[in-house]
């Protein structure tokens, strides 16, 4: 079983829709949960990180972690064509800047104007 | 945010040759850099952690003699794929660690380069 599972998509939604991206993980030691956005021919860019369970909101983006079910979600409200990218979830047991990151495979998202 | 570059962005080489990939932190100093590899439709997998002035730490299953890492300065780490074979064809991406300060809190973040696509014929 992979430590972090992510539906690779692709996922296409119309502009303005709410997007829900999800991952599951199996390692109970994971404490930090990250979402990265990767545009074509670019490196992953950190969108948000969450420590332990709970919600975190940043503008149109909301990250949710449910440690009881080992479920990670990213919601994008009022989606824009510029949100079209590959989104990767990642987890780490402690300080994610210093630690090995375990990534999902990434979900390719297209927002249709 | 901090900027990390990689060179080259794409490389095609013959089987048996060696290829060097550079990872540079452009506007910050990085004592720690990480090297990842990604196969098509697979996750980014950490290969090794590179610390300036010391030997790299390799993940289980990664051959240190095949993937040579040199982190000779605070802004440059190199990955050399020695005696490359077609199965080494992959997307190699580095990250560099920097401290991010947000208000009264701070945390370490890995900033990623754009990646290098290696094709071994």
Q: Using one digit for the tens of pLDDT, what is the confidence trace for B81-117? A: 999 999 999 999 999 998 888 888 888 889 999 999 9
CA distances, A16 to each of A47, A109, A112, B104 (Å): 19, 14, 9, 35
Residues of A in contact with B109 (CB under 8 A): 46, 96-97
* B40 three-class SS: coil
Asked whether the bond before A27 is cis by omega within 30 degrees of 0, the reply is: no
* E strand map for B3-75: 4-7, 10-13, 19-25, 32-38, 44-51, 57-58, 67-73
- The enclosing H or E element of A69 equals none
Interatomic CA distance for residues B89 and A11, integer angstroms: 27
Q: Using one digit for the tens of pLDDT, what is the confidence trace for B10-49? A: 999 999 999 999 999 999 999 899 999 988 878 899 999 9
CA distances, B10 to each of A59, B19, B113 (Å): 35, 11, 13
Banded pLDDT at B53 (limits 50, 70, 90): confident
Residue numbers of A between 9 and 68 with CB closer than 8 Å to B: 36, 41-46, 49
Interatomic CA distance for residues B19 and B31, integer angstroms: 24
Residues of A in contact with B34 (CB under 8 A): 100-101
pLDDT at A99: 76
Residues of B in contact with A35 (CB under 8 A): none
CB B114 to CB A8 under 8 A? no
With a cut of 50, list the residues of chain A below it in pLDDT.
none
Interatomic CA distance for residues B91 and B116, integer angstroms: 6
pLDDT at B102: 80
pLDDT at B1: 67
């Amino acid at each position: 079983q992979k430590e972090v599972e992510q539906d690779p998509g692709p996922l296409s939604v119309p502009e303005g829709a709410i997007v829900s991206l999800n991952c599951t993980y199996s390692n109970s030691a994971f404490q930090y949960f990250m979402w990265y956005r990767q545009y074509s021919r670019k490196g992953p860019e950190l969108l948000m990180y969450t420590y332990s369970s709970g919600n975190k909101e940043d503008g149109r983006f909301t990250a949710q972690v449910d440690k009881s079910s080992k479920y990670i979600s990213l919601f994008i409200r009022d989606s824009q064509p510029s949100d079209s990218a590959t989104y990767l979830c990642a987890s780490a047991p402690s300080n994610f800047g210093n630690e090995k990151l375990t990534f999902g495979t990434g979900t390719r998202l297209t927002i249709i104007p | 945010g901090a900027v990390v570059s990689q060179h080259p962005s794409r490389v095609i080489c013959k089987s048996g040759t060696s290829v060097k990939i550079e990872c540079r932190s452009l506007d910050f100093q990085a004592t720690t850099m990480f090297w990842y590899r990604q196969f098509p439709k697979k996750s980014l997998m950490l290969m090794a952690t590179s610390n300036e002035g010391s030997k790299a730490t390799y993940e289980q299953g990664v051959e240190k003699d095949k993937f040579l890492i040199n982190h000779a300065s605070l802004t440059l780490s190199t990955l050399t794929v020695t005696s490359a074979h077609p199965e080494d064809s992959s997307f190699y991406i580095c990250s560099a660690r920097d401290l991010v300060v947000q208000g009264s809190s701070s945390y370490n973040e890995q900033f990623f380069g754009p990646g290098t696509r290696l094709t071994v014929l």
